[in-house]
Amino acid sequence: MRLIIGIGNPGREYEGTRHNLGFAVVEELARRHRTSVWSKDRNALVSEWLLPDALGGGKALLVKPQTYVNKSGETAQALLAFYKASVSDLLVVVDDLNLQLGHLRLRADGSAGGHNGLRNIEALIGNHYPRLRLGMGPLPPGADQIGFVLTGFAPEQRAEAQAMIAKAADCAESWLREGVQVACRFNGPLVRPEPPPKPAPKPPVPLMTTNRIPERPPGGPGGAPPPGEKSKDEESPAQ
């Protein structure tokens, strides 16, 4: 059994917040692969995933702990014990304030990096487990950190956040299929297409100028003969 645990806070008031990026990734995997309905297991919502041969076969469990973030280790410890899985079969997906929005970082092990959820997991099962971090930073100058992580993304950030979630799901699939070292190729920022070149400015329309003095039409204004002068038609012999 493989376990993919997304870190987040339970409850509708936390849906879509920066601190629930881990939930968003496991939900994306469940949506893509039409896994089983979410059910309660060991103080978590879990969805069982029958892995195709292309992803290594066997089973995986998508997990959303129903404790708060700082108690995530309790869920991880209970599920590992119940399913007799090793820490190498565990992938923890978590938000990271120290990474810029759009960046991913997968590591085979490491420190908690100031994240309370990872700190609790480390206290209960150690730190030798793979973890995938999703960037949500930077913290705006003068902003309250707790308030920042517990709010959603600004409208202009949502498309990038969704693209990052999709890329993180790709990374998790690679971890299942090929292991952590190969899946590290997803590390780094999103690859953004180059903006289209701006169209060249249109050349200014040249002014119609001429040095030629226009000829005065015969006769008066508009070509009419001056007063008292007959036109050529009137002088014509053809009567």
> Is 143 inside any structural domain?
yes
| 18 contacts 136 by C-beta, under 8 angstroms | yes
> Is 90 inside any structural domain?
yes
At residue 54, the pLDDT reads 85
- Rounded CA separation 116/139 (Å): 17
> Is 109 inside any structural domain?
yes
Residue 71, domain extent: 2-186
CATH classification at residue 150: 3.40.50.1470
Tell me the pTM.
0.78
User: What DSSP letter does each residue of 178-199 carry, written as one string?
Assistant: H-HHHHGGG-BS--PPPPPPPP
Q: What is the pLDDT of residues 135-145, one digit of tens each?
A: 999 999 999 99
Is 128 designated active site?
no
At residue 236, the pLDDT reads 40
Q: What is the pLDDT of residues 148-186, one digit of tens each?
A: 999 999 999 999 999 999 999 999 999 999 999 999 999
> Is 232 inside any structural domain?
no
Torsion angle defined by CA atoms of residues 40, 45, 51 and 57, in that order, rounded to the nearest 10 degrees:
-70
At residue 227, the pLDDT reads 56
> Is 213 inside any structural domain?
no
Evaluated on CA atoms 30, 10, 93, 152, the torsion sign reads positive
At residue 219, the pLDDT reads 55
Per this entry, what is the length of the chain?
239
At residue 229, the pLDDT reads 55
- Rounded CA separation 121/200 (Å): 56
> Is 60 inside any structural domain?
yes
> Could you say which residues of the chain have pLDDT below 50?
193, 232-239
Radius of gyration, alpha carbons of the chain: 35
Question: What phi and psi, each to the nearest 5 degrees, are found at residue 57?
Answer: 70, 180
Q: What is the pLDDT of residues 59-70, one digit of tens each?
A: 999 999 999 999
> Is 238 inside any structural domain?
no
At residue 199, the pLDDT reads 73
| 74 contacts 82 by C-beta, under 8 angstroms | no
The residue whose two tokens read 């973890």 is 131
Number of domains in the chain: 1
The single residue of 19, 33, 115, 128 carrying the catalytic annotation is: 19
| 114 contacts 79 by C-beta, under 8 angstroms | no
> Is 201 inside any structural domain?
no
